[in-house]
Amino acid sequence: MTGPLVVIGDTLLDIDLHGRAGRVCPDAPVPVLDELVEKPRPGGAGLAARMAADEGLEVVLVTALGDDEAGDRVRGLLPDVDIRSVRYDGPTPVKQRVRASGQSLLRLDSGTAEGTLGRPDDDLERVLRDAGAVLVSDYGRGLAGLDSVRGWLAALSPRVPLIWDPHVRGSEPVPGVRLATPNEPEAVEYAARAGVRGGRGLAAAGRRAAALVEAWRAQAVAVTLGERGALLSYGSGAPAVVPAPEVMALDTCGAGDRFAVSAALALRSGAITTDAVQAGVQDAAAYVAAGGPASLESRRTVSPVPTDSAEALVRGVAARGGTVVATGGCFDLLHAGHVASLRAARRLGDCLVVCLNSDASVRRLKGPGRPLVPAVDRARVLDALECVDAVVEFDEDTPVEALRRLQPHVWAKGGDYAGQELPEEEVLRQWGGHAVVLPYLQGRSTTQLVRTAAGGTTKTEESVR
C-alpha cells in the first residue's frame, strides 16, 4: 500500500550519557566517569517512527507528549515525522542511561507519573483509514487502551495491515491484528493470563504463541527470542522459526522496535507474514551488529540508510575493531571446493561477506547457458553456510563497486594467483585493504560437475568460482 506508516503509542525521551571510566571513586567502590557526552534520541513509539522516517518513508506519529522541556526535545528529534499529539496533562517520561565503554552502568528514570489523556480528534480516524500500515507501539501508558482508538484500530482489519507491539502493562491487541510481536517475557506473561503456563524451549514458545493467537483473535503472533530469532504462529499447525544471524552485540536497546518496524514496512509493501517476520529478524540483527542506538546517529549524519544489512554488519564489525573479510564469485552449483575456500576466508577475520555475481554478470562471464541456479537461490544457499555472514549481489563484471561500498580489510581471492597483481588491489589500496590468495581444493569445479551430469568424461579444471 502507498499510504504512510502510522505509528501510534507512547513516546519518551531516551538519553545516553557516555563517559570514560579510568579510575575508581576514593570514597566508594564505584567508577568515576570523565568527559561525559549526552546523546538524546526519541524512545518508545518515537523510536519506531524515527527508524521508519530514516528510511525516507512518510511517517505519522500519533502520541501524547507533555508540555515540558522533554516533550520539546522529542519534537526536535523527529523533524521528518508528522506528529499528531493527543491532549495530555502529564510529564514526558525520560530514561537516562549512564554508559562507559559501551556498557550500561545505571539507568535513571523521571517523568514516570501518568497524566490524563484526552479524547483524540476525529481526524485521527481519517489518518488511520488512509494509512499504508499501522504499527501500535504500546508501552503501557494508556494511549492504545482508549476506547475510541481501539474502535478505530479494530475497524482497519483486514484492509490495512495492523501490527501490534505489546507491553505487559498495556492493552491487549484489538481483534483482527495482522501480526502481534511480543518478546519472550511478554509472551510468558500474556500466555499465563490465558491459562498457559510453564515450559521452556521452542515447544513451549509455540504453545504460548498459539494460545495468544486464540486469546487475541490475531491473524498471527511472532514471539521475538533475542539472539535466537523469532517464532511465528498462526494458531494451528507447526509454527515457523526464523533464526537470527549470529552477530556481536553490546547494546540491544531498540532491537524489538527495529523488528516491529521492519515487519510493518514489509506488510505495507504487500509481503506475506512469514516474509515480514524474516525481514524483521534480519534487520534487527543488522541493527544490533551496527551498534544498536549508536547506529541511528551515524545513519542520519554520515550516510543514508544502507540498502542491505551487509553494509550495516560491516560498519558494526569495523567499529568494534574487528577484521572484515570479503570474497566473491558466481558460486553456481555450490560444491566442496567452494565450501573449503569460504571456510578458509572466514578464518581470516571476524566476518565474511560474499560478493555474488548477478545472473546477467554470470552470463557475460560464463556464456548463455549459465547460471544454472538463479542468483536469489545462490544467495540463499550461501547465506545458509555458517561461515558466511552476509551476501551482496553485484551486476558488474567485477566486484570493484561492491568492494568500494563495503571497504573490507581483506579480499580473499581463490585460484592460482600467488605472486601476481590482482585486479582488485588498486581499489583496496584506497582504504588500506589488502588481498590474499586462497588455494583451491583440487579436482572440484562447476564445469566438471555440469559435464559429468551431462554424460561427459572430461576432467578439465576451471576456477571453482
Q: Which residues are catalytically annotated?
A: 257
- The two most distant CA atoms of the chain are separated, in Å, by 82
Task: Please name which of 58, 89, 69, 61 lies closest in space to residue 15, comparing C-alpha atoms.
Answer: 69
Strand residues in 299-350 grouped as ranges (E): 324-329
What is the Cα–Cα distance from 277 to 267, expressed in whole angstroms? Answer: 9
What is the Cα–Cα distance from 25 to 301, expressed in whole angstroms? Answer: 36
- CA-based R_g, the chain, Å: 25
**Helices marked H in 302-335:** 309-319
- In the numeric block, which cell numbers belong to residue 208? 504460548
Write the CA distances from 88 to 50, 143, 182, integer angstroms. Answer: 22, 10, 27
Q: What SS3 state is found at 162?
A: strand
- In the numeric block, which cell numbers belong to residue 293? 542506538
Q: What SS3 state is found at 40?
A: strand
Task: Please name which of 273, 255, 252 lies closest in space to residue 263, comparing C-alpha atoms.
Answer: 273
Antiparallel, parallel or unpaired: β 240-242 and 230-233: antiparallel
Write the CA distances from 46 to 52, 83, 262, 308, 351, integer angstroms. Answer: 10, 9, 15, 23, 32
Q: Do 309 and 280 touch, CB atoms closer than 8 A?
A: no
Partners of 103 in beta bridges: 100
- In the numeric block, which cell numbers belong to residue 211? 494460545
Contacts of 192 (CB under 8 A, 6+ apart): none
Q: Do 266 and 283 touch, CB atoms closer than 8 A?
A: no
What is the Cα–Cα distance from 154 to 66, expressed in whole angstroms? Answer: 27
